[in-house]
Amino acid sequence: MARMHARRRGKSGSVRPHRDDPPAWSTTDAAEIEQLVIDLNKKEKSSAEIGTILRDQYAVPDVKLATGRRVVEILEANGLGLEIPEDLRNLIVKALGMRKHLAENRNDVHNKRQLTLTESKVRRLVKYYVGTKRLPAGWVYKPETAEILLSR
């Protein structure tokens, strides 16, 4: 597939093999894995970091295979879900960093262009999440209030 903001095609990525059940060597105690997910979230780890830690340190190749639910679903079931989805949050943090850079370096035209592209991705994601009802209906991204929004 082509890139979103470039006139070129990207490298094809590897695909995880299809499995219906976890491998025999992996840790498959669902209650223990769910408790680990909750503990790691309390240590302020993101869902991506939780998955990586479980894979590397606890021999859990896939949380969904072992428990039947994704990391985000486990967190939401225990009342620890995020107000803003993680991918949207990461893009907003990236845009805030670019805005801080532009405040000091006003003539950085490459960064201005990248900020425009990043904020358009944010708006597109917001539109998707409002449509799927993961964000409230009137939710709008505003760069002025983004830092306050992320501090919660």
Q: How much is the pTM?
A: 0.80
Model pLDDT, residue 83: 86
pLDDT at 130: 95
Residue ranges of domains in the chain: 30-77, 86-151
Q: What digits encode the pLDDT tens for the residues 102-136?
A: 999 999 999 999 999 999 999 999 999 999 999 99
Among the listed residues 151, 106, 146, 148, the one whose alpha carbon sits nearest the alpha carbon of residue 123 = 146
pLDDT of residue 42 exceeding 70? yes
pLDDT of residue 152: 61
pLDDT at 2: 64
Q: Using a pLDDT cut of 90, give the percent of the chain over it.
A: 60
Eight-state DSSP code of residue 5: S
What single-letter DSSP state applies at residue 20? S
Residue 31 has pLDDT above 80, yes or no: yes
Which tops the pLDDT comparison, 62 or 7?
62
Over the chain, what is the mean pLDDT? 89
Provide long-range contacts, Cβ within 8 A and 24+ apart, for 70-79. 71/37, 71/47, 72/47, 74/34, 74/37, 74/38, 75/37, 75/38, 75/41, 75/47, 78/34, 78/38
CATH of domain 86-151: 1.10.287.10
Tokens of 101: 């850079």
The Cα–Cα gap between 66 and 63 comes to 5
Locate all alpha helices (DSSP H) within 8-145, ordered by sequence: 30-42, 47-58, 63-67, 71-77, 86-104, 109-131
